Structure 1
Amino acid sequence: MSGLVGWIDFRHDLGTQESVIHAMTNTMQSRGPDAKGIWISRNAALGHRALTVSGLPAEQPLQERIGTETVAVAVAGDIYNLPELAREIEGAGGLLKTGGSPEVLLQAYLLWGDRFVDRVNGVFGFAIWDGRTQKVLLGRDRLGIKPLYYYEYPGGILFASVPKGIMANPRFKARLDLHALPIALQPRLAMPGETPLAGLREVPPGHVLTYAESGLTRRRYWRLTSEPHHDSFDDTARRVRDLLDDVVGRQLTSAGPLSAMLSGGVDSTSIAALAVRRLRQDDADRTLDTYCIQFESDPAHFVATELRPDVDAPYAAAAADFIGSRHHTLTATVHDLLDVVRATRSARDLPGWGQFDASMYLLFRQIRNSSAVALTGEAADEVFGGYPYFFKQDVVERARFPWLGDGPRLSRYLSPELTALIKPEEDERARYSQLMSDVPRLPGEDAENARMREIFYLGLSGPLAVILDRKERMSASLGLDVRVPFCDHRLVEYAWNVPWAMKSKGGVKGLLKAAMADVLPPGTVNRKKSAYPHVQNPSYDRTLIREALWIVNDKASPLAGLFDTAGMNGLIRQISANAIRSELPGGSNQAALLIQLVELHNWVHEYGVSLG
C-alpha cells in the first residue's frame, strides 16, 4: 500500500518545478509513511511514498536507462503473483535483481508493452513514463480497488492516487461540475471514472490509459465474459473453495502481525477462518487478530431491519472463538464518530458518507495499532448474491437500479433551474440504460438467468465501487493495507457464470456456505444477512437534520441556491417525523438520506470548491 503522483507537460520544463513535485508527493504521506522518492526530467515527473509491510520498501520511482532515454515506473498497491511473473520474465530473457513489484512491472513492460498488465494479479495503480516514445501509461487493477485519478489540460496531464495529489498542483482548480450533482448526492450512480469535480477523472477499473503529446487514449484490458457453466453444484463449491483458499494464501503477509475484520457473518468469517488455517500451517504460534465494531447506543436504540436484523458483536465473538482468532470489539460513541468525520473527508478529498466512513475509520485506526495488513470479506454479497433485493421478484423485474429503492432522491429537490438543466430522472434512466448495454450477454440464456446476470452486473458497478472506495480510502489514510480476497478477478470471473439457482441453492449465498461449510460455526451459517453496521442514535440523527436545515435555509450556505427550499424543508420535516414509508437505498434509516447533502456542503466549504 502506497501512493503515487505524476506530472507530464510537453510545453514546459518540469525541471524548474521540483518544489511542486515535492508538494504533490507529500500529500501521499499517510498512504506511504515509510519512504519517499521523486524523479524529474524535462517533460515528466513522478513521486512516490511507500508503506513498509515487511523488510525494506522497494525504491520508487524506479528507473532504467535505455540508450539515451529513461523508462521510469511508480506503482501503488500489491502484486499477488510476483513469483509467477518473475519466472515468466526470466524465461523471456528479462533480468531481475530484487524481484520487487516496481522492478517486475518495469521489466514486464519492457518485454510486453502495455499488454503486460494482462498477466498481473493484484490491486494496483501504476504510472510508467517511457522516454523513448514520450508517453506515459496509467493503469488500474481489474476491480478498481486501488485508486488513480488524473486531470488533463492542454499540453499536459496530472495524476495521483487520490485527488489531493492533483489539488497540490496550481494548474488544477477545484470546481463542482453541476451536471455531476446526481452522483454527488447519490455516489452509487457514478459511472466508472466519474467524479463531481470538473475535469477530474479516475482511471476506470480494468483500463490502461496512454497519454502522449497527441492526446489521451484508453484501452479496456479486462471485462467479464459470459460462458455456459457446466460444473455440478458440488464441483462448483469445491472450485470456489479452492480459489478462495488460494487467494487468501497469496494475500497473507509472510511476516509480522496480520488482522481481519470479523462481523460474524459468512463472508468475513470465511476469510478469517482460511487465514487462521494458513497461518498455522506455516507457524503454529502465529495468531490472527480479528476486529468488529459496535455502538454504545445499541442497547437503547438498535432497531432490527431487513438488511441489519441484529448486532454483529455477539456473532463475531462466537465466530472468533470457533476459528481460534484473537478477537477485539471496538465500542464507538456518537461523539467518537463526529470527532473523525472531518478526517474521513480528508481521506477521500471528495464528498463522503458521514457515520459510515467514520465508524470504519475508527475500526481501522484500532487495527493499525497492531498490524499494517488486514483482510476483509467485502464484495461477497455482490459476487454471490447476498442482498435482499436478489430475492424480491418485483424488484428484480423493475427496469431500474434494484439497490436504489423507491424512496426520495435528493437530486429531485434541486432548484427548478438546475432540474431543467440536469434532468435528474432522465439522468438516472440514462445511467441504467448505459450499464444495461454493457452487460456481457450469453446467447441463448433463459430469461430468468439473463435478468439475474443483469442484476449482478448492476451491483458490481456503482454500489461495489462505493464499498471498495470506503474501505480503501479509510484504511490507506491510516497507513493500513486492507486486502479484499473476494475481489480476486479469477474468483469473480468464475462466479459470474454460475447460474442463479446454484448460487442461491439452500438460501442466501447457499453456494458460498456450501464451499465453506467445514470452517463456519453453525451460528454463522444460520445467521441472516446483516450489512455493515450503522449507528442508530437520535442524537446523530438530530445533528444531521440540524445541519441540513441550515444548509437549505441560510443564504450564507454555499449550497443554498442549489435546492428548492420549500421542497427540501418538506422532505426534512418528513424525515424528522419518521414519516417516509418507502424503501431506502442501503437499508439505512431516514436521517441517513441527508448525509450526502451535509457532506457535500462540508466538502465544498473545506476544500474551497467553486460552483458552476
Structure 2
Amino acid sequence: MCGIAGWIDWERDLSHEQRTVQLMGKALECRGPDDHGAFLSRNAAFAHRRLVVVDPAGGAQPMTRRLGENAYTLVYNGELYNTDDVRKELLEEGYTFQSYSDTEVVLISYMAWGSRCLEKFNGIFAFAVWDEANQRLFMARDRLGVKPLFYARQGSRILFSSELKGILAHPDFVPEVDAEGLAEVFAIGPAKTPGHGIFKGVNEVRAGHWILASKEGMRDEVYWTLRSIPHEHTLEETVEHTRVLFEDAVRRQLVSDVPVCTFLSGGLDSSGVSAIAAEYYAQTGREPLHTYSVEIEDMEKHFTANSFQKSLDAPWAMKISEHLGTVHHRVVVPMQQMIDDLLTPLEVRDVPGMADIDVSMYLFCKAVKENHTVALTGEAADEVFGGYPWFHRQESLDADTFPWSLRLGERMRIMSSDLKETIRPEEYVSRRYQEALAEVERLPGEDAAEARVREIGYLSITRFLPTLLDRKDRMSMGASLEARVPFTDHRLVEYVYNVPWAMKACDGEIKGLLRRVLRDKLPHDALYRKKSPYPGTPNAEYLEATRRLALDMIADSNSPILPLIDVGAVKQLAQESYQPMEHRPWFGQILGTAQLFHYLVEVNEWLKTWKIRLV
C-alpha cells in the first residue's frame, strides 16, 4: 500500500515546484515508509510514498509509460488481486511489461482501455493518471471505497491526496469548515456522507466512481453500484456459491512478497477469514499462519456482560487458534498507553474519529507491524450478511432515519444553540438519509418487508461500512501496515446483497448463511457465538481521563470548540458520569459518555491543530 498526492495546474508552470510536492508526499510518510518518488512536468506534479508488498524493484512510482508519442504517469495506492488475469489479457492484445508489479498492470490497463479498465479489476485501490498529450487527469477509487482519495478543485488548480493532510500540506490551501462541514462532524459523526471532505472545497472520490478532469471542467461517473436482481438459487446452491466466492476472495488476498497474517478476535468473521487462510497455507506447504488478537489491559477485571457485548474475545481467539493450528499473538494494550495516545489517532485521521476503539486499533496495528506488513481482517461481514441489530429490530426497521442515528438527540444535547441553529442537525441527517434511500434500486414484486431489509442493507454497505473501512485504513496505514478485507470482494458483495433475508438468516440465526458456509471450518460453539463488537474499554481510568480533559477544555477560554457546545450540558454530563452506568462501545454514533468526552476533546484539538477557520 502507499500514499499518493498531486498538484495539477493548467495555468502555472509546476516543473520547479519540487519542494511543495515533496511536502505533500512527506505528510503521507506513514503510508509508505519504504520508498518515495516525485514526478514534475509543466502542468502536473505527483508525489508517492511506498510500502513495499509486491515487486520491490519493479513497482517504483510515480510510474511513466509511453504509448506512441504520448506519456502516461501513474500514482497508485492499492492492490490488485487478479493481476495475473489482467496482465495475460493485455499481453494477448500486444502490450509489454517491464515488471511483474500490479502498478504497471493498472497503468497499462488504463492506457489500453481507458475508464473501462476499472471493470476488469478485482482489488482495493485509489489512483491518478496524468495524460500528458491530452492534459487530462484521471482519478478512480475501488468499488467499496477501501482505499481513500480526496481532491480540491480551485480555479485552474486541482490538489489530490490519499489523506486530507496531503492537501493541507500545500501552502496555498486554507483550511476552512462551513456549516455543512460542521454538520458532518457534529450530526453525522464518523459515519460521514460519501464524497464529503469536511473541509470547504474538498471532496472525496466516491467509492465506485471515476473522475476525468481537464482545463474545461470535471466529469464524475459511476462505474459500479449495488444492483437489485432476482435471486434464483436454492438455499443449498446459495450456500455453496457463497462458499466458493468467499474462499476465492481470501486466497487471492494472501498473495504477497512479504509476510501475511490475519486478525483473529474469536468472532465469526475474523475466524472465517483465518480458517480459509490457515487451510490454504497447509495445502500449499507454507509455514503455519500467524494470527493476532487485541485486548485492553485488565479487561477481565472491568468487563460485565451487557446488551452490547456478551463475552470477552480473548478466550475465543485462543480456542480458534488452537483449532486452526495457527501461531497466535495476543496483543495486550496497557491502559496507560491508551490514555497517553488518546489524541494520536487524530494525527492519523485528520478529522475527529471513533474515540477509544481508534486508539486500541492504532496500537494493535503498531504491534502487528513489528513482525508483519500485511494482515487480512474480517471487516464488512456484518454489513454484507446482515449481522447488525438494525437488520431485525423493529425500532430500526420502522425508523425514518439511519439506524445508527436513532440517538441523535444524545449528541444534540451538547451542541450550542447557535450551532443547532446553523447546522439544523435533524434536518441535515434527514436530508442525507433521503438522498441515500433514493439511490436504492427497487426490485419489482418484492414485498414491503423484504424491500425494507434491502434498504437497510444498502445503507449499511454504502453509508456505515465506509466508516469502518476508513478507520481500518487510517489506523493500519498510520502504523505502516496493509490491511486487506476479503468480505469487500465485489463479487461476494453483489451476490449476497440479493440473497433474500430468509436465506441470510437461515436456521433462525443472524448471519445464518455465513455460519452455514463456515460449518465445517469452525467449532460448533464458536460458530454460533453471539456478535461482540470491537473492544472499547470499560476501565474507569479511561472515563476519568477523558472527563478531566473535557473539563479542562471547557475551563480554557481559548478553546476553539466553546462556541459550538453547550458548556452547561457538558458539565452536567460530567456530573452524571460519576454514577454507575453501562459501558456502551461505539456503535454508529459516539454513545458512551467517556467516548463523547473523548470526541469533544478531539474536535477541539482538531480545530487548534489545523488552525481551522469557521466560515
- Is the TM-score greater than 0.5? yes
What amino acid sits opposite 1:446 in the alignment? D
Match of 1:35 in 2: 35
For residue 312 of structure 2, what is the aligned residue in structure 1? 311
C-alpha distance in 1 between matches for 2:373 and 2:45: 29
* Native 8 Å contact 1:439 1:454 kept in 2: yes
The answer to whether 1:544 aligns with 2:554 is no
1:258-303 superposed Cα distances (whole Å, 9 cap, x missing partner): 21110111100000010011112212x4121111112223222112
8 Å CA contact 1:189, 1:431 repeated in 2: no
**Aligned residue type for 1:505:** C
Structure 1 counterpart of 2:537, which letter? V
TM-score, normalized by length of structure 2?
0.95
* Matched residue type, 2:437: M
Residue 17 of structure 2 corresponds to which residue in structure 1? 17
Does the Cα contact within 8 Å between 2:267 and 2:529 map onto a contact in 1? yes
Residue type of the alignment partner of 2:544? R
Alpha-carbon offset, residue 389 of structure 1: 2.2
Measured in 1, the distance between the counterparts of 2:259 and 2:283 equals 16
The CA deviation string for residues 481-524 of structure 1, in whole angstroms up to 9 with x for no partner, is: 11000001110000000001110112111000001110011231
Pairwise CA distance, 1:416: 2.2
CA shift in 2, pair 1:189/1:479, >3 Å: closer
Query: Alpha-carbon deviation of 1:575?
Result: 4.0
Q: Which position in structure 1 is the counterpart of 2:362?
A: 361
Q: Paired residue for 1:610?
A: 613
Q: Is the 8 A contact 1:401 1:458 kept in 2?
A: yes
Q: Distance in 2 between matches of 1:584 and 1:73?
A: 38
1:176-195 to 2 correspondence within 5 Å?
A: 176-185=177-186, 186-195=188-197
Give the match for residue 404 of structure 1: 405
- What's the counterpart of residue 500 of structure 1? 501
Measured against aligned partners, the alpha-carbon deviations of 1:46-77 in whole angstroms (never above 9, x if no partner) come to 11121112441502111123455421111111
- 1:599 corresponds to 2:593: no
- Provide the residue aligned with 1:432 in structure 2: 433
Matched, 1:535 2:537: yes
- SS in structure 2 at match of 1:300: helix
**Cα 1:583/1:361, change in 2 over 3 Å:** closer
What displacement does 1:405 show?
Answer: 3.4
Structure 2 CA distance for partners of 1:168 and 1:407, relative to 1, 3 Å: closer
- How does 1:446-457 map onto structure 2 within 5 Å? 446-457=447-458
Contact 1:4 1:49 in 2 (8 A): yes
- Inter-CA distance 434–552: structure 2 relative to 1 (3 Å threshold): farther
- Is the contact made by 1:405 and 1:582 (CA closer than 8 Å) also made in structure 2? no
Deviation at 1:579, TM superposition (A): 6.9
Distance 2:382 2:550 in 1: 32
Q: Distance in 2 between matches of 1:249 and 1:498?
A: 23
Please state how far the C-alpha of 1:477 moved relative to its aligned partner. Answer: 1.5
Task: State the distance in 1 between where 2:587 and 2:545 align.
Answer: 21
Check the 8 A contact 2:506/2:513 in 1, yes or no.
Answer: yes
In structure 1, C-alpha distance between the alignment counterparts of 2:237 and 2:538, rounded to whole Å: 42
Identity of aligned residues (%): 37
User: What amino acid is aligned across from residue 98 of structure 2 in structure 1?
Assistant: K
Contact 1:23/1:168 (CA < 8 Å) preserved in 2?
A: yes
Which residue number in structure 1 is paired with residue 248 of structure 2?
A: 246
Cross-structure match for 2:44? 44
In structure 2, what is the Cα distance between the partners aligned to 1:98 and 1:71? 16
Please report how far the alpha carbon of residue 543 of structure 1 lies from its aligned counterpart in structure 2 after TM superposition: 1.7
Gaps of 5+ in 1: none
Q: How many residues align?
A: 611
CA spacing shift, 1:165–1:359, aligned 2, 3 Å: same
Equivalence for 1:371: 372
- Greater shift after overlay, 16-25 or 147-156? 16-25
In structure 2, what is the Cα distance between the partners aligned to 1:409 and 1:438?
28
Establish whether residue 60 from structure 1 lines up as the match of residue 42 from structure 2. no
- After the TM superposition, which of the residue ranges 162-171 and 581-590 deviates more from structure 2? 581-590
Amino acid corresponding to residue 71 of structure 1 in structure 2:
Y
- 1:227 CA drift (Å): 0.5
SS at match of 1:30: helix
What's the offset of the Cα at 1:133? Answer: 1.3
More displaced stretch, 408-417 vs 22-31: 408-417
1:264·1:316 contact (CA, 8 Å) conserved in 2? yes
Q: Which residue of 2 aligns with 1:518?
A: 520
Match of 1:155 in 2: 156
Aligned AA for 1:257? P
Shift in Å, 1:376: 0.5
Structure 2 counterparts to residues 94-109 of structure 1, below 5 A: 94-109=95-110
- Corresponding residue to 1:202 among 186, 204, 213: 204
2-structure distance, mates of 1:319, 1:582:
26
The answer to whether the 8 Å contact 1:407/1:584 transfers is: no
Tell me, in whole angstroms, the C-alpha distance in 1 between the residues paired with 2:577 and 2:224: 43
**3-state SS in 2 of match to 1:410:** helix
Show the counterpart of 2:418: 417
Q: Which residue identity lines up with residue 111 of structure 1 in the other structure?
A: A
Give the match's secondary structure for 1:470.
helix
Deviation track 1:327-354 (CA, whole Å, cap 9, x = no partner) reads: 1111222211122333322211222222
Q: In the alignment, residue 357 of structure 1 is paired with which amino acid?
A: D
The 8 Å contact of residues 28 and 49 in structure 2, kept in 1 or not, is answered as yes
Question: Which residue of structure 2 lines up, in the alignment, with residue 554 of structure 1?
Answer: 556
Matched residue, 1:382: 383
C-alpha contact (below 8 Å) 1:407/1:582 kept by paired residues: no
Q: Name the amino acid aligned to 2:119.
A: D
Q: Which amino acid aligns with 2:129?
A: I
Amino acid in the other structure paired with 2:443: L
| Alpha-carbon distance change, 362 to 581 in structure 1, aligned in 2, over 3 angstroms | closer
CA–CA distance in structure 1, aligned partners of residues 378 and 585 of structure 2: 26
Indicate how the Cα distance of structure 1 residues 123 and 460 shifts in structure 2: closer, same or farther if over 3 A, else same: same
Q: Relative to structure 1, is the Cα distance of residues 550 and 603 closer, same or farther in structure 2, using a 3 angstrom cutoff?
A: same
Match of 1:5 in 2: 5
Q: CA deviation at 1:247?
A: 0.6
**Relative to structure 2, which stretch is displaced further, 3-12 or 522-531?**
522-531
Summarize the Cα distance change of 1:348–1:406 in structure 2 as closer, same or farther, 3 Å threshold. closer
| Partners of 1:383 and 1:456 within 8 A in 2 | yes
The Cα of 1:183 is off from its aligned counterpart by: 2.0
Over residues 235-272 of structure 1, what are the superposed CA-to-partner deviations in whole Å (9 max), with x where a residue is unaligned? 11111111011011110035542211101111000000
Match of 2:142 in 1: 141
Q: Tell me the equivalent position of 1:281.
A: 283
Q: Which amino acid aligns with 2:558?
A: A
The offset of 1:582, in angstroms, is 11
Shift of 1:455: 0.9
Residue 382 of structure 1 contacts residue 456 of structure 1 at CA under 8 Å; is this kept in 2?
A: yes
Tell me by how many angstroms 1:546 deviates: 2.2
Distance 1:574 1:429, change over 3 A: farther
* CA gap 1:322/1:584 in 2 versus in 1, 3 angstroms: closer
Paired with 1:11 and 1:41, the residues of 2 have a C-alpha distance of 13
Tell me the amino acid that sits aligned with residue 39 of structure 1: F
Root-mean-square deviation (CA), in Å? 2.0
Q: 1:49 to 1:129 in 2, by over 3 A?
A: same
- Written as runs of structure 1 = structure 2, the 5 A alignment for 1:270-349 is 270-283=272-285, 285-349=286-350
Letter in 2 for 1:21: V
Separation of aligned partners in 1, 2:585 and 2:35: 48
Amino acid at match of 1:378: E
- Residues 560 and 578 (structure 1), Cα distance of their counterparts in 2 relative to 1, 3 Å cut: farther
What is the rounded CA distance, in whole Å, between the counterparts of 2:301 and 2:330 in structure 1?
18
- Offset of residue 591 of structure 1: 2.3
How do residues 58-137 of structure 1 correspond to structure 2 at under 5 angstroms?
58-66=59-67, 68-137=69-138
CA distance in 1, matches of 2:390, 2:134: 50
Contact in 2 for aligned 1:576/1:591 (Cα 8 Å): no
Assess if the C-alpha contact under 8 Å between 2:141 and 2:148 holds in 1: yes
Shift, 1:407, TM fit: 6.0
Please give the secondary structure, in 2, of the residue aligned with 1:408: helix
